[in-house]
Structure 1
Amino acid sequence: MDKFLTVSQIKPREAKPKERKERSYSEPIKINDDGLVSARELHEFLEVGRDFTTWIKGRIIKYDFDENIDFIIIESFHQNGGKGGRPEKDYVITIDMAKELSMVENNAKGKQARKYFIQVEKAWNSPEMIMKRALEFANKQVESLKLESKEHMKLIEEQKPKVVFADAVSTSKTSILVGELAKILKQNGIDVGAVRLFTWLRDNGYLIKRKGTDWNMPTQRSMEQGLFEIKESTHLNGDGVNVTTKTPKVTGKGQQYFINKFLNKED
């Protein structure tokens, strides 16, 4: 039987009004499903002539019991004549510790309790009980994995549109206008129009903010990052003069970059 205790094993009890109860020989002291015993209940059963706190502290010191190995201290509540409860300490102990405490009491009750704990240990370590605990543990693990899987699948479903969208863009070889990028973002839940997107790109150093012939052109940094390219075209104006115009276009890499940036910003 595992001798080490964890807080998760402990189930705080509510102490009942103090009254003498005759327990049957077959189950003189309650043992929980983790094989742990209330020292207060053991003290009551052993009919020790001292108060509980003095008794348990003395036994711990004399027989060198270790906290978190042989016992854990918890708080329970003692009912006080219907006027509410007051907290009191209990010591939740292992069967090994319970056996030793019973033996050193050196009375008939102690012998009865020790025999009982030995019987419980034998039953606990029987092949049937070992298999039962193994199945219970396996069932808990299966339920836990089902829950984790369900939560994981929910997250995948929530993220799927964003992941598929970003992955599709990453393979794009076509450069698009900033206004087209704004439309794609809007279709995917990011409400930003072309004007606001241009403003954001300028404010964050991707497009030139300074008024002039280079206004709204990609900065040196964004060009080096491969986020933009400049599309040049020529046409005749009303006076019959050839005019060259420059338009910033977002590359496939730039589309993925800005989409990821905005999606993460939304999250």
Structure 2
Amino acid sequence: MSQLIPTQSNEQGNLLVSGRDLHKFLEVGTRYNVWFPRMVEYGFAENVDFIRVTQKCDTLGGEQEMVDHHLRIEMAKEICMIQRNEKGRQARQYFLDLERKWNSPEMVIKRAHEYLERKVAMLTTDNLVLAQQVNELKPKATYYDMVLQNKSLLSVSKIAKDYGMSAIKLNQTLHELGIQFKQGDIWLLYAKYQDRGYTQTTTHVIDADKSRVSTKWTQKGRLFIYDLLKQQGILPLIEHGEMAS
């Protein structure tokens, strides 16, 4: 699809969009330096949902510094919803389509391999160090390969086993990171994550009067957990050079 609004990605693999580019596309009448702080008041946090960036620009009065913001695609989508107009709807749909393509299995594994190649290219020419670091990087791509080859739904206990932890511990960790909450006996995703295809709710019929509802994770959700925990310094056992028993 045509690029309605320019985007870029950071080293963590997140899609970013310029606040000023979004402001321009939405045809907001309010000046950017007034409009953007109002958007932040909807609950967005600096260095989490967006980062502040500056660049030099030439004006009639000489060189001046212009402030912009790089927004994560999730924040950009919510801002589009806030606008409640056709431009906002159009931009949100564009971001949804872009995000769907970006998070496809093919693109995820492609980025993992590109990351590996960049790291290898930066290694020293010393053969011993090169061999050691390449071996350390290989499991990262291998983990993605292993996940993408599996199409089945997973219980949280099976994902927890990847990290050598219990299901209780992983559920609590995801809760502390603001991903899910507990309602009765079932864990549910917060609204921000509900429409991303990370989980599916299944019902197990026990008898004519009883049934049990549980949340299962998709492979996309499994990769989401992987990226989330990696940011916290928590890696699966396979990336420590060992397999879970």
Q: TM-score, normalised by structure 2?
A: 0.48
Structure whose CA Rg is larger: 1
